[in-house]
Structure 1
Amino acid sequence: MSETVQLREVGPRDGLQMTATILSTEQKLEWCRREVAAGLVDIEVTSFVSPKLAPQFADAADVARRAILIEGCRPAALVPNLKGAQLALEAGLTSLYFVMSASEAHNRANVRRTTEESLDEFRRIIEHRDTMPGKKAWIGSGIATAFGCTIQGEVPERRVVEIAARLAEAGADGINVADTVGYGDPAQVRRLVKAVMDEVAPLPVACHFHDTRGLGLANILAAVDVGVRSFDASLAGIGGCPFAPSASGNVDTEGTAFLLERLGLDTGIDLEALMALRQEVERWLPGEQFARGVGVAGLPRR
């Protein structure tokens, strides 16, 4: 039996946060339904941010409530602050992702806080979660700009490890090491991700890579080498960060799934169904840039 690996689709959130076209709620839900039908059930369906800052997510609560009803779907949402977490939990979500940046400059630009203030905010989110009755929601945290920052430049690896440790101490259920601007390389990935894994064990560590400089899949391979078995990806490689210049280009879900399957890992994904969905999403988002690779060339003949 093949070892399993988790792919988490972030297209409906990360992918849509900078697109010129705002998809309808029904289109977002259809995207989720078809991902689940293709075997990809972990989906970051929205972000609970101010609709003034991100009108793409003005329907966040509606999307969340209805995504929960999709059979087999395990929806999650990004929450940048306590208010967002409260709204996500009120909508019924049981999986949330907080995000903060290792880069002080990027954190100030992205969420208008110092990194210390973000750590305090995360503690408040965990405290709020812990006061709620019933089964506790799973709350993980991403560490953005872990491999470098377009605003600040180099981010010391020790700082990333220390932030991961403090998030774990605060109650994070998992850590996601994110290359927000595509600066990472395979050697750095092996070194830094292994250091984070060692620091926060036994918490699960996932990775989020961008293909801005063409190293996205190579970085996934490097992370697999050190034991990572959970990755974010965005259908057709759409997405980026509005506060990180030149950060376009998430690793594409179809290319990531193809690589992982070729490595002998089981993603549980029907690649042909996923690539058919990609064609539909491309029609919904005219004028956007999409990843090439297997999504364009197609699967090898058998």
Structure 2
Amino acid sequence: MYTEISAVEMVEVSPRDGLQNEKRAISTAYKLELINRALESGARRIEVTSFVNPKAVPQMADADEVCAGLPERDDVTYIGLVMNQRGADRAIATGRIDQLGAVAVSTDGLGIANQGQTSEESVEVAKSLIRSAQAAGLTGQATIAASFGCPFDGEVAVDRVVEMAAQIAAANPVEIALADTIGVGNPAHVASLVSKVKAAIGELPVRVHFHNTRGTGLANVWAAILAGATTVDASIGGLGGCPFAPGAAGNVATEDVVYMLERAGISTGLDLDKLIEMNRWLGGVMEKDLPAMVGKAGGFPQPDAKQNDERNVA
């Protein structure tokens, strides 16, 4: 058992990042059931939707309706992703969002494709959105997209990401996240970048967001936690992807991350059996098998008591 780290916070992102790139239209009712099932599994931070142009991301066109149907919970943080002030104003107006999630992008190529902003412009917008959240009595956080590599501009300098994190920290977000938007990260790179960002932003927590596109997602989660990350984004079933980043397939799966951490003695607050049930339900909704490995294999096998008794008699 690994006992140096006792607990890690999980953020369930399936209602937003998990669904946004899916071609099959998912009803508001199913999205709300997905959120309710996440709550039943123990999730206490959930990225419920994004307030973006529905022409750009049709799956998120019902953001206001989703928010209207959210259960009233004092023990849950509902996160709304926003790219600009218009999105922030919409999220705040729902009266149901607790935290705004802003996005800064490490490169001009993805920044312009994703939100029509250069990298430097996206940093300034993210800082402004965090302050808008604070002014409205909410909290704000920021994710640095393409922290480990960009589909348009290629390699991303570590120093650039560290510099961005330091700039964003000046707006006093609750945390800064490093996102491997296209799943190119490796554990050595992850450990180095998380450590350097932590040193640059002081007491602010580091959250991480990994895609399992090339099979390194779980290893990257582990490396990030050992380097000091305290919060991990994950999506039930391993669904996910960015519509504006070619090849950005598959978030790390919530059930896979939870299995790995809980077996290592690190608490996540989530119920693995309920997550596996949730995987099977969501696979039925999506009409396909989901990529999560634990969703297929199940948790740690439990001995059959009857068989053990028979062995003991023999």
CA contact (8 A) 1:96 1:140 kept: yes
| Partner residue, 2:128 | 124
Helix, strand or coil at the partner of 1:207: strand
Deviations 1:81-121 (A, max 9, x none): 11111111111212111012112211111001112222222
Equivalent of 2:115 in 111, 116, 121: 111
- Residue pairs, 1:1-302, within 5 angstroms: 3-69=6-72, 72-92=75-95, 93-132=97-136, 136-287=137-288, 290-302=290-302
Task: Call closer, same or farther: CA 1:209–1:63 in 2, change over 3 Å.
Answer: same
Task: Call closer, same or farther: CA 1:202–1:27 in 2, change over 3 Å.
Answer: same
What is the alpha-carbon distance in structure 2 between the residues aligned to residue 204 and residue 124 of structure 1?
A: 20
Residue 248 of structure 1 aligns to which amino acid in structure 2?
A
Query: Which structure has the greater CA radius of gyration?
Result: 2
CA contact (8 A) 1:102 1:160 kept: yes
Deviation at 1:24, TM superposition (A): 1.1
Residue 108 of structure 2 aligns to which amino acid in structure 1?
E
Helix, strand or coil at the partner of 1:178: strand
Which deviates more from structure 2 when the two are superposed, residues 8-17 or residues 165-174? Answer: 165-174
Residue 104 of structure 2 aligns to which amino acid in structure 1?
M
Helix, strand or coil at the partner of 2:144: strand
CA contact (8 A) 2:191 2:227 kept: yes
What is the alpha-carbon distance in structure 2 between the residues aligned to residue 43 and residue 105 of structure 1?
A: 29
- Unaligned runs of at least 5 residues, structure 1: none
What is the alpha-carbon distance in structure 1 between the residues aligned to residue 156 and residue 230 of structure 2?
A: 25
Residue 298 of structure 1 aligns to which amino acid in structure 2?
G
Residue 209 of structure 1 aligns to which amino acid in structure 2?
F
Deviations 1:122-156 (A, max 9, x none): 23323433443xxx211000001000112111000
What is the alpha-carbon distance in structure 2 between the residues aligned to residue 131 and residue 217 of structure 1?
A: 37
CA contact (8 A) 1:68 1:75 kept: no
- Unaligned runs of at least 5 residues, structure 2: 303-314
Residue 296 of structure 2 aligns to which amino acid in structure 1?
V
CA contact (8 A) 1:36 1:72 kept: no
Helix, strand or coil at the partner of 2:100: strand
TM-score under structure 1 length normalisation: 0.94
Residue 104 of structure 1 aligns to which amino acid in structure 2?
D
Residue 282 of structure 1 aligns to which amino acid in structure 2?
G
Let me know the Cα RMSD of the aligned residues: 1.6
Deviations 1:11-30 (A, max 9, x none): 11001111111211111111
CA contact (8 A) 2:99 2:133 kept: no
CA contact (8 A) 2:279 2:290 kept: no
